[in-house]
Structure 1
Amino acid sequence: MANSISIASSHTSCEQCPIRGLPTFRDFSPEELSFVLRFRQGEHSADPGMAIIVEGENNPRLYTVLTGWGFRYKILEDGRRQILNYVLPGDMIGLQGNLMTEMQHSVEALTPMTLCLFERERLATLYREHPSLAYDITWIAAREESILDEHLLSIGRRSARERAAYLLAFLDLRARTSGIAKLGRPVTLPLTQQHVADTLGLSLVHTNKTLRKLSKLGLIRWLDRGCEVLDMEGLYQMAGWRPPAESRRPFI
Structure 2
Amino acid sequence: MTAPASSRTATKWRTPCTQCPLRSLHYFRDFTKPELDFVSGFKTGELSVDRGATILVEGTHSAHIFTVLGGWGFRYKLLSDGRRQILNFVLPGDLVGLQGGLMGEMDHSVEALSAVTLCVFERSKLESLFEKHPSLAYDLTWIAAHEERILDENLLSIGRRSAVERTAYLISFLKIKAEAVGMVTDSKRVIPITQQHVADTLGLSLVHTNKTLRKLAQGGLIRWLDRGCEVLDPEGLLRLSRWEGVKEKKRPFI
TM-score by length of 2: 0.96
Where does structure 2 lack aligned partners over 5 or more consecutive residues?
none
1:129 maps to 2:132: yes
What residue number does 2:77 align with?
74
Match of 1:169 in 2: 172
**What is the aligned partner in structure 1 of residue 163 from structure 2?**
160
Per the TM alignment, residue 15 of structure 1 is displaced from its structure 2 partner at its CA by 1.2
Is residue 231 from structure 1 mapped to residue 233 from structure 2 by the alignment?
yes
1:146 Cα deviation (Å)? Answer: 0.3
Deviations 1:124-157 (A, max 9, x none): 0000000110011100000000000000100111
Within the candidate set 184, 205, 208, 1:206 is matched to: 208
CA RMSD of aligned residues (A): 1.4
Q: Give the aligned partner of residue 53 of structure 1.
A: 56
Residues 32-90 of structure 1: CA deviation (Å, up to 9, x unaligned): 00001110010010001111100010111100000000000000000000000000000
Letter in 2 for 1:202: L
1:32-111 equivalence runs, <5 A? 32-111=35-114
**Identity, % of aligned pairs?**
62
Alignment partner of 1:112 is 2:115: yes
The Cα of 1:10 is off from its aligned counterpart by 6.1
| 1:219 maps to which of 215, 218, 221 | 221
How has the CA–CA distance of structure 1 residues 118 and 10 changed in structure 2, closer, same or farther, with 3 Å as cutoff? Answer: closer
- Structure 1 residue 101: Cα displacement: 2.5
Q: Does 1:250 align with 2:252?
A: yes
Runs of 4+ in 1 over 3 A off after TM superposition: 1-4
For 1:235 and 1:209, the matched residues in 2 are separated by: 16
Task: Indicate conservation of the 8 Å contact 1:8/1:114, yes or no.
Answer: no
CA distance in 1, matches of 2:47, 2:162: 39
**Which residue identity lines up with residue 84 of structure 2 in the other structure?**
R
Q: Which moved more, 1:62-71 or 1:173-182?
A: 173-182
> Could you say which residue in structure 1 is the equivalent of 2:15?
12
Whole-Å separation in 2 of the counterparts to 1:186 and 1:10: 27
Deviation at 1:247, TM superposition (A): 3.1
- For structure 1, list consecutive stretches of 5 or more residues without a partner in the other structure: none
Q: Indicate the SS of the match to 2:157.
A: helix
Partner of 2:183: 180
Residue 147 of structure 1: aligned partner: 150
Match of 1:196 among 195, 198, 202: 198
Q: Describe the SS at the equivalent of 1:99.
A: helix
Answer whether contact 1:2 1:49 (CA < 8 A) is retained: no
Q: Deviations over 1:161-186 (max 9, x none)?
A: 0110000000000100122123x445
Partners in 2 of 1:176 and 1:91 — Cα distance?
14
Give the number of equivalent residue pairs: 251
The separation in 2 between residues aligned to 1:163 and 1:209, in whole angstroms, is: 13
8 A contact 2:64–2:101 mirrored in 1: no
